[in-house]
Structures are given as structure tokens and as C-alpha cells.
Structure 1
Amino acid sequence: MSANHDGTNLLEVRGLTKIFGTLTACDHIDLDIARGEIHALLGENGAGKSTLVKMLFGSLEPNAGEIFWNGQSVRISSPGVAKKLGIGMVFQHFSLFEALTAAENIALSLDDGSPINSIAAKARALSFS
């Protein structure tokens, strides 16, 4: 864990908490993710995985804690704010268009004018197409 939030980690979460009534779904979560890392969240139903991701995506606001993106404290108050930071979310139950490539499916959710060729190149680099 980096106490100085120097941007070494792309994402840092400190003390993130979400409470629904009397249920504490996430209780003081700390998490560091460095650039280029891939992580998986594993746990039983009701463990708070989706709640944590929804707070990072701006679909839910935390009751406590702080999120740092590139070393800067951020308030992710909506999915639009998350998107501007470069944070996206693949929903647990989603549908893809089978006739489209991975890049084309991704491009459907973009409204920033990203060229499909650029998206396709990234998808190929990640072996998605």
C-alpha cells in the first residue's frame, strides 16, 4: 500500500465502505492496482464484490473511504465520471452481439468518437478478436 498516493498505482482504495440500512456490504476495503495488472474478485454471494465494483464505476456512492486515481483523490459520482477517468464496467449479466467482433461490441458503448481501427488494434493485441 502506498501511503503517499504518488501515482505509482493506477487505482488505490482506502477504507471504502458501503452500508445499506443495517447491512454493511463493504467494510473498510483497501485495494491497490498498479498499471497493467489484472485482478479478480472472488467471494461468496453477498460478499460485496459487485458493490465494490459499482462504487468504483460510480453507480453507488460509498458511505466512507477514499478513491485515488493516478495518485489523485477522486469522487466518482456517476458512470460518466468513471468513464472520463477511463474506468469501465462489464456487467454480470450482459449480452454481446454475436455477429460483431470484440472490438465492435466495445465500440457500441463508446461515445467519444474513438476510431474503430484503434479499438480493433487494441482488441487484437489482447487476443480478443
Structure 2
Amino acid sequence: MSANQDGTNLLEVRGLTKIFGTLTACDHIDLDIARGEIHALLGENGAGKSTLVKMLFGSLEPNAGEIFWNGQAVRISSPGVAKKLGIGMVFQHFSLFEALTAAENIALSLDDGSPISSIAAKARALSFSYGLPLDPE
């Protein structure tokens, strides 16, 4: 895959750094991702993988560095800002409310007020397209 038609990458990270006290979790990370690319983030426990993705999703503020989305410098100050940009995240350890249906759990992450029946229908269709057995209700 290559950069967008105008030469920009979908996501660029330059010098992203996160420090917790005396621990530097991410030290001047550079990353380029073109539209349509899939990347794996690999490393030992404590290498900073989760810290990096949390900065990209707005759950953590970097101490230094820049994030560019479609060639524009952005400040991702919250997961809501990330979602508006079109950045989604599936964390390694996620939490569901076991008393709720799959559709109700999905609804908790949406801001548009979609009816549960609509969310369930979309989830059912998507899971079917991937060959996954999911009853969202």
C-alpha cells in the first residue's frame, strides 16, 4: 500500500514520547501508516505498545511529539476526538457489561443514539459477513 493520492499517509507519528515519573514508556516513536495498511505492534511486556495506542486513541496525552492524521497535525485529547477523526481502537483487554446484550454493549460506545434494533441488525450482518456466530440480542 502507499500513501494517499496527495502523498500523505493516513497516520504519521513523529517523536511521540510518554513519561511516567522516571519511566519513559515510549521514547521518540516514529510511525507511518498509509490508507489500507494493516500493522502488527509487537514487543515484550512493558515495551510501550499499549501506551502508544492509548496516545493514538486519546486515552493518554503524550509528553512530546506530534500526530498527523491525513497530513494534518492533530491533538487527540480524548477518545471522542479520536472517534470524530475516524480512529477506532480494540484494546487487548476490553470490558463488557455481562448483564447487557452485545447490541447494548455496542450502543454504549456510540454517540448517535441509534436504536438498539438497528445496532443489533448491523452487528448481525457484520458478524455474518465474517462468518462469526454472534447473537447481538
- Common fold: TM-score over 0.5: yes
Give CA deviations for 1:85-113 in whole Å, capped at 9, x if unaligned.
11111122125689999888655522225
CA contact 1:7–1:72 (8 Å) conserved in 2: no
Give CA deviations for 1:10-54 in whole Å, capped at 9, x if unaligned.
100000000111110000000001111111100000000000000
Q: Flag the 1:40–1:98 CA change in 2: closer, same or farther, 3 A.
A: farther
Q: Flag the 1:74–1:5 CA change in 2: closer, same or farther, 3 A.
A: farther
Which residue pairs with 1:94 in the alignment? Answer: 94
Aligned Cα root-mean-square deviation (Å)? 3.4
Query: Which moved further from structure 2: 99-108 or 6-15?
Result: 99-108
Structure 2: distance between partners of 1:106 and 1:50: 22
- Aligned-residue sequence identity (percent) comes to 98
TM-score using structure 1 length: 0.75
CA contact 1:67–1:75 (8 Å) conserved in 2: yes
Give CA deviations for 1:26-83 in whole Å, capped at 9, x if unaligned.
0000000111111110000000000000000111100100000010000011111111
Query: Which moved further from structure 2: 105-114 or 42-51?
Result: 105-114
CA contact 1:102–1:128 (8 Å) conserved in 2: no
| Number of equivalent positions | 129
Q: Flag the 1:4–1:106 CA change in 2: closer, same or farther, 3 A.
A: closer
Which residue pairs with 1:108 in the alignment? Answer: 108
TM-score using structure 2 length: 0.71
CA contact 2:16–2:26 (8 Å) conserved in 1: yes
CA contact 1:5–1:68 (8 Å) conserved in 2: no
